[in-house]
């Protein structure tokens, strides 16, 4: 939201933790970056001295200890970069460029429902924490493929009113997708349909969530992904279609958080 | 010892041979917080076209072995917004400001250049993008045909007296012929190279990754291919050459100078190390001092 | 489930689409201790010329970002020694044996082919190297000119009825035109691509690293460039295509098939992982089984 | 010399030791490879799972514990590969392809002088050991840039009659190059000029050594270097000019050890 300037610096890993088979967190000592970060923003990461990963990898800020001076990311192994990053040791240096992008806007929000699918949880834990600090009422709805993927419940409980979980395979909580679960939750509850939605997840989830919000006439903000080269508006490589498809926003500088109605999720 | 980094490329004088490549440095302002822009030899702007262009559908970027593919499609604000919104900042800079122009027809090139010539001061030269691989109608076809290269260069030469740089495509049988055509058309300088055409496939989805199927390959692995093109041009033309392709380190810069480039452009590296252009100026200065090189121009074409 | 890896490329039938690229697999025998040669789709020999060639001066090899440069200069034993010393081993193999031929003139190509045609059985086809970047007089110039490609193909077509594969250079403005020329000349199959011209410089010695200054770029970073060429050829010609360039993994193989190649050749990877060709056959079989692909040919050109 | 077949295998580093600022040894557990190795042969090394080094790096066999089943290499940091290899830890896996090439022939040798410059020492320690085991009289002449580069004296003493050292800067032993030292040593000593020379070092040293051997009418074998892609005769990438320059040997299969008179060092 606010953009107090980005930093380009090196920072050492101070902790790496595995949450399940493919999710892990990397914590960095980076006091100045922590101070400047707000929920929904991201940092472009590069492992120093590794040559076979060319581009930096954009990662949402997952948690942030502004007082203690640390910044944490939640990564899911999906390809070369996230795999290589998973082999680091405390003490290894990364290059950090950030905080980047425009985060979530919750200045005038009293009630919020945070909706995430899979690794989409990464930016919303920080958001829940900051909302809590500003007395926003936070409900959290998580979707996972299966119980074995579940994570972050512990981190979230201090900040949320309610935490609901859906699994695609029914191995835990609601059997079905997270949008289905949300639909159940808000059915007929006027207090809930008055809340604003904050979401991050796979495109198919975001699309069906957007439809639900339109039906229910709810406001919503979405954190979207795009392939990026630079992360700061130079390469023009991260287009997000305008709602009417007449042009594109840039995910890295206009987003990654967009409002319902501004962009198009189709395809 | 004293060393001079200044180079002269025909009528274009640069305080040092480090330029930033079109499309990788925005309109300069985006790097103001990372780099002391006045320390650079110069900035080459994103390609400017007659009208604003929204660019190609996603994805536009994908990392591939040895580099990345892009399919931006010359997304840019158009020449009028460029003049009103981007030139004022550029005008505040002391380094050379080179405007890169592109188009889908000779007329478009000429119109863009004419508009720029009519605008107030602040432009030190033009780079003509005859080589964009991501615009079907435009650069792609012209850029490979020596006759078209000659005609466009000739037409633009009539419009401006400022230094005219023609940027060549490597996707050709004989870059020397393209260079000669630009030289005969009246170009002052050649720049080489733009990206090679490449393609990435998502084998799971069985789909091309890029929205436009193919895109332009840039990055580290471009270096050895670009060095060969610069060397070949140097053997063929008499114009000064600006070398481009996969430059990330001081050694890369020196290799291009030795191969025959009088200056270089830093491209993809700017995305990953936003401070790299200025750092290379520092390193080049240190290198010349340590090696007692009085003028960096001694290195140009100095292959044994 | 049952799956078939067999592919048919015009008159050339292969039990699977994994071939080894010319110049990277010797005459087969060198890999006998690493690979069950009979499991491969086929072997393509080192280029054979009329006379033995001693090759280019050192250095002939240098690693560069994304790959390596070579400047072998078609060093080979010559067609007569090939027939007397190398064919006997090849004849013992059950996989396809394709002889790659090269020359500096149409006459040399024709003479080499004629000699091979006169030799006893054991040859399943020919690949015509119209694209060697390391021999000034020969391939380099022919290979880029559609007219020459047509003439040579036509001449060779008259000499043999065996499958005739024309190997194309990527260092051209329009590989589709080269492919069409070979098609009109009577080629059965196209293979693409050979190496791109590249150059490496030793900045300390201020000398080119390779004895011949420039060389051919191969290896991982070639993949995205080669995929674009294969795809472009597939849009232009009706002949079957063999894809080559930077193939190291199963995913690479599948990408080439999807891009339109009916078979692939493994090159540089053989130097580093001598067992890779056979391993890719295994992995491709596993992939087809897991994904319920009855015939690997379903993948050819199956891009959405 | 003998070629009992090459192996292609993975092996773990069991020890890494620094001999000076830029020389280090890597020891691998690889019993079968050790058994097959003879002095002057080399192994092509590749660090498993490292993608940004493309080609294997050829390394002479420095020492070899045939009974214990280990193989050791002596590396000097000169570029990307030798630098990357220097960061490995015990337990890291390499791919090994070898033993490759034709080694030294000392079947009929009674007196030998081993002459090395810098990292050229790598193949000659193993040779000294094997010669000693077969009762060859070994004299060893080493050249280094400076005292700080010196190494291997301890490893050599059990096997050699005499160990002489030259440094270019005179910081230790003979002040001058190793060929100069050798010239001094053999001057007028008929027993020494009857010995056979076995040498490895930079090209300029080998050239002047070759001249000395011609003058003194001594037999000699040289282990040479060439840029290699495959290491087993396939790429034809490692030419070594024939003495009359009418053609080339291949360093990897005809060499890397050649006899004086067979090849040309000029250029
Ligand atoms: C603003 C933003 C925030 C993100 N936050 C997180 C996060 O908090 N945690 C997390 O695990 N992931 C996050 N991602 C995704 C993460 O950046 C990608 O997963 C990562 O770039 C892929 O890296 P890789 O090297 O592992 O995979 P690759 O091997 O590079 O590719 C694997 C997949 O990643 C995608 N991809 C390819 N190139 C790019 C590119 N240039 N940019 C983005 N995606 C690409 C493709 O879909 C591809 O199939 C975020 C992405 C964006 C844009
Ligand atoms: C038969 C043989 C035995 C060897 N034994 C040893 C040994 O025991 N210890 C040791 O430290 N070194 C040895 N070398 C040299 C070693 O292989 C090279 O130093 C190494 O390949 C360079 O690797 P690098 O990645 O560190 O340097 P690079 O960054 O690849 O290049 C640095 C320098 O190495 C040389 N070089 C470049 N490409 C090649 C190539 N393909 N093959 C060979 N050299 C090249 C060039 O001169 C270059 O300037 C041997 C070489 C050969 C051919
Ligand atoms: C994302 C991207 C956008 C580019 N846009 C332009 C452009 O608008 N005009 C142009 O002439 N070149 C453009 N280029 C090409 C670069 O200027 C340069 O020629 C090329 O990237 C090779 O250099 P590199 O390897 O250092 O990146 C672009 C390159 C990239 C990667
Ligand atoms: C050292 C070397 C030698 C080669 N020799 C030949 C040759 O004799 N004839 C030929 O047609 N291609 C030759 N090639 C080209 C390969 O067959 C192949 O087209 C090229 O290397 C690209 O594939 P790759 O990236 O998988 O290596 C050679 C390539 C290399 C690296
Ligand atoms: S990632 Fe470069 S403009 Fe958005
Ligand atoms: S290194 Fe390949 S033939 Fe010698």
Does the CB of D14 have a partner CB in chain C at under 8 Å? no
Tell me chain C's radius of gyration from C-alpha atoms.
18
Touching D: C residues 36-65, CB under 8 Å: 46, 54-63
Contact B67 A54 (CB under 8 A): yes
Does the CB atom of residue A80 touch ligand 1 within 6 A?
A: yes
Instruction: Tell the residue nearest (CA) to atom 6 of ligand 3.
Output: B23
For residue B242, the model assigns a pLDDT of 98
Handedness of CA A179, A184, A185, A188 (dihedral sign): positive
Q: Which CATH code fits C7-51+74-196+216-299?
A: 3.20.20.70
Crossing angle for the helix pair B106-118 and B146-159, nearest 10 degrees?
20
- A53: closest chain D residue by CA: D52
Say how far apart CA C156 and CA C160 lie, in whole Å. Answer: 7
Give the ipTM of the model, two decimals please: 0.96
Average pLDDT, chain C: 95
Q: Is the CB of A163 under 6 A from ligand 5?
A: no
- CA nearest to B109, candidates B48, B185, B187: B48
What is the number of the ligand 4 atom nearest to the C-alpha of C265? 26
Q: Is the Cβ–Cβ distance between A114 and A139 less than 8 Å? A: yes
Q: Which residue of C has its CA nearest to B198?
A: C225
Cα(C40)–Cα(C18) distance, integer angstroms: 6
Q: Using the mean position of ligand 2's atoms as its centre, give its distance from the Cα of residue C295 in Å.
A: 45
Whether residue B135 is predicted with pLDDT greater than 60 in this model: the reply is no
Residue D1 has pLDDT above 80, yes or no: no
Question: CA nearest A51 in D: which residue?
Answer: D52
Q: Is C141 a residue whose pLDDT tops 60?
A: yes
Cβ burial of D229 (10 Å; 0-12, 13-18, 19+) is buried
Give pLDDT, residue C138.
Answer: 47
Report how far residue C246's alpha carbon sits from residue B105's, in angstroms, rounded to the nearest whole number.
36
For residue range C65-119, list pLDDT tens digits in order.
999 999 999 999 999 999 999 999 999 999 999 999 999 889 999 999 999 999 8
pLDDT score of D3 more than 60: no
The full set of domain ranges for chain B reads 7-51+74-196+216-299
Instruction: For chain B, give the number of residues.
Output: 304
Residue B122 has pLDDT above 60, yes or no: yes
Please give the average per-residue pLDDT across B258-265, as a whole number: 98
Q: Is pLDDT of A1 > 50?
A: no
- CATH code for the part of the protein at A111-223: 3.40.50.80
Residues in chain D, overall count: 267
Q: What's the gap in Å between the CA of A50 and the closest CA on chain D?
A: 9
Q: Which sequence positions of C are flagged as catalytic?
A: 132
Name the band, by pLDDT with cuts 50, 70 and 90, for residue A190. confident
Confidence label for A4 from pLDDT (cuts 50, 70 and 90): low
C-chain residues near B231 (CB < 8 A)? 199, 213-214
CB of D181 shorter than 6 A to ligand 6: no
Q: For ligand 3, atom 26, which residue shows the shortest CA distance? A: B267
* Segment holding C179, helix H or strand E: helix C175-185
Ligand at shortest distance from the CA of D237: 6
A177 close to A209: Cβ distance less than 8 angstroms: no
Enter the pTM of the model. 0.97
Cα torsion angle, B54, B56, B58, B64, sign: negative
| Ligand sitting nearest the alpha carbon of B99 | 3
With contact defined as 3+ CB pairs under 8 Å, the chains touching C are B, D
Instruction: Give the whole-angstrom CA distance, residue B35 versus residue D120.
Output: 46
Atom 17 of ligand 1, nearest CA residue: A58
Please indicate whether residue A81, judged by its CB atom, sits closer than 6 Å to ligand 1: yes
Task: Tell me how crowded residue D211 is: count the other CB atoms within 10 A of its CB.
Answer: 12
What beta strand segments (E) does chain D contain?
7-18, 23-29, 42-47, 57-60, 63-65, 70-76, 93-100, 111-117, 137-144, 162-167, 174-175, 196-200, 220-223, 239-241, 248-250, 257-259
Cα C103 to Cα C82: distance, rounded to the nearest angstrom: 15
Our CA angle for C172, C178, C181, nearest 5°, is 155
**Rounded Cα–Cα distance for residues B243 and B227 (Å):** 8
Q: What is the distance in A from the centroid of ligand 2 to the CA of D57?
A: 6
Answer whether residue A194 shows pLDDT above 80: yes
Residue C86 touches partner D, C-beta closer than 8 Å: no
Q: Which chains touch A (3 or more CB pairs under 8 A)?
A: B, D
C130–chain D nearest CA distance, Å: 19
Closest to A39 (Cα-Cα) out of A121, A150, A95: A121
**What residues contact D119, with CB distance under 8 A and at least 6 apart?**
D23, D74, D75, D76
Residue with the smallest CA separation from ligand 4 atom 5 is C23
pLDDT bucket at C139, cuts 50 / 70 / 90:
very low
pLDDT at res. C135: 54
Query: What spacing in Å lies between the alpha carbon of A227 and ligand 1's midpoint?
Result: 7
Looking at per-residue confidence, does B118 or C136 come out higher?
B118
Range of lowest pLDDT (A179-193, B100-114, B135-149, C146-160): B135-149
- Coil, strand or helix: which one is C19? strand
Alpha carbon of A240 to ligand 5 centroid (Å): 11
What tens digit of pLDDT does each residue of A142-177 get?
A: 999 999 999 999 999 999 999 999 999 999 999 999
Domains in chain D: boundaries = 7-100, 111-223
Output the CA–CA distances (angstroms, integers) from residue B14 to B21, B39, B42, B199, in the order listed: 15, 11, 7, 36
pLDDT over 60 at B139, yes or no: no
Ligand 3, atom 29, residue with closest C-alpha: B23
Q: State pLDDT tens for residues C230-281.
A: 999 999 999 999 999 999 999 999 999 999 999 999 999 999 999 999 999 9
Give percent above pLDDT 90 in chain B.
92
> Is D244 an interface residue toward C (CB < 8 Å)?
no
Output the 3-class SS for chain B: CCCECCEEECCEEECCCEEECCCCCCCCHHHCCCCCHHHCCEEECCCECCCCECCCCCCCEEEECCEEEECCCCCECCHHHHHHHHHHHHHCCCCEEEEEECCCCHHHHHHHHHHHHHCCCCCCEEEEECCCCCCCCCHHHHCCCHHHHHHHHHHHHHHCCCCEEEECCCCCCCHHHHHHHHHHHCCCEEEECCCEEEECEECCCCEECCCCCEEEEECCCHHHHHHHHHHHHHHHCCCCEEEECCCCCHHHHHHHHHHCCCEEEECCHHHHCCCHHHHHHHHHHHHHHHCCCCEHHHHCCCCC
What is the average pLDDT value for chain A, to the nearest integer? 94
Could you say which of C57, C62, C271 has the minimum Cβ distance to residue D230? C271
- pLDDT tier at D190, thresholds 50, 70, 90: confident
Asked whether residue D242 carries a pLDDT value surpassing 90, the answer given is yes
Taking CA–CA distances from B67, the nearest residue in chain A reads: A54
CATH of domain A7-100: 2.40.30.10
Average pLDDT over residues C171-188: 96
The predicted pLDDT at position D267 comes to 61
How much is the CA Rg of chain B, to the nearest whole Å? 18
């Amino acid at each position: 939201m606010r953009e107090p300037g980005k930093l380009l610096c090196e920072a050492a890993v101070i902790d790496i933790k595995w949450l399940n088979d493919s999710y892990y967190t990397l914590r960095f000592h980076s006091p100045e970056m922590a101070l400047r970060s707000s929920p929904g923003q991201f940092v472009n990461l590069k492992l120093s001295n590794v040559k076979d990963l060319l581009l930096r990898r954009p990662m949402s800020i997952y948690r942030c200890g502004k007082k203690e001076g640390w910044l944490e990311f939640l990564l899911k192994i999906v390809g070369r970069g996230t795999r290589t990053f998973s082999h680091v040791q405390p003490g290894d240096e990364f290059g950090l460029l950030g905080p980047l992008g425009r985060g979530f806007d919750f200045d005038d929000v009293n009630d919020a429902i945070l909706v995430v699918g899979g690794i989409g949880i990464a930016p919303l834990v920080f958001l829940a924490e900051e909302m809590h600090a500003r007395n926003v009422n936070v409900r959290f709805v998580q979707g996972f493929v299966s119980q074995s993927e579940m994570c972050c419940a512990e981190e979230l409980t201090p900040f949320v009113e309610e935490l609901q979980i859906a699994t695609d395979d029914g191995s835990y909580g609601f059997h079905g997708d997270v949008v289905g679960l949300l639909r159940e939750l808000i059915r007929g509850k006027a207090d809930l349909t008055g809340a604003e939605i904050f979401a991050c997840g796979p495109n198919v989830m975001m699309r069906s969530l957007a439809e639900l919000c339109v039906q229910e006439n709810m406001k919503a903000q979405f954190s979207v992904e795009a392939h990026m080269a630079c992360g700061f508006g130079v390469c023009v490589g991260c287009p997000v279609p305008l709602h009417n498809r007449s042009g594109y926003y840039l995910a890295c500088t206009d987003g990654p958080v967009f409002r319902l109605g501004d962009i198009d999720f189709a395809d | 010892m004293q060393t001079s980094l200044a180079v002269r490329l025909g009528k274009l004088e640069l305080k040092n041979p480090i330029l930033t490549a079109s499309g990788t440095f925005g309109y300069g302002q985006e790097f103001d917080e990372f780099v002391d822009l006045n320390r650079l030899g110069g900035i080459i702007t994103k390609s400017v076209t007659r009208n604003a262009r929204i660019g190609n559908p996603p994805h536009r970027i994908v990392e591939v072995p040895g580099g990345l593919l892009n399919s931006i499609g010359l997304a840019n604000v158009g020449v009028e917004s460029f003049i009103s919104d981007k030139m004022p900042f550029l005008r505040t800079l002391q380094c050379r400001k080179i405007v890169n122009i592109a188009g889908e027809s000779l007329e478009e090139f000429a119109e863009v250049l004419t508009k720029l010539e009519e605008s107030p001061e602040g432009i030190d030269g033009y780079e003509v993008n005859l080589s964009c691989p991501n615009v079907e109608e435009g650069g792609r076809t012209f850029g490979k045909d020596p006759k078209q290269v000659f005609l466009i260069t000739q037409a633009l030469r009539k419009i401006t007296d400022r230094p005219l740089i023609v940027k060549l495509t490597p996707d050709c049988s004989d870059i020397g012929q393209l260079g000669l055509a630009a030289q005969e058309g009246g170009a002052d300088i050649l720049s080489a190279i733009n990206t090679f055409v490449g393609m990435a496939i998502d084998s799971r989805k069985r789909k091309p990754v890029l929205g436009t199927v193919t895109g332009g390959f840039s990055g580290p692995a471009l270096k050895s291919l670009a060095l060969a093109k610069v060397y070949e041009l140097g053997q063929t033309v008499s114009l000064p050459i600006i070398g481009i392709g996969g430059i990330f380190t001081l050694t890369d810069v020196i290799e291009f100078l030795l191969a025959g480039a009088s200056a270089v452009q830093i491209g993809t590296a700017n995305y990953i190390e936003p401070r790299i252009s200025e750092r290379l100026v520092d390193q080049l200065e240190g290198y010349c001092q340590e090696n007692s090189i009085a003028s960096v121009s001694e290195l140009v074409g100095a292959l044994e």
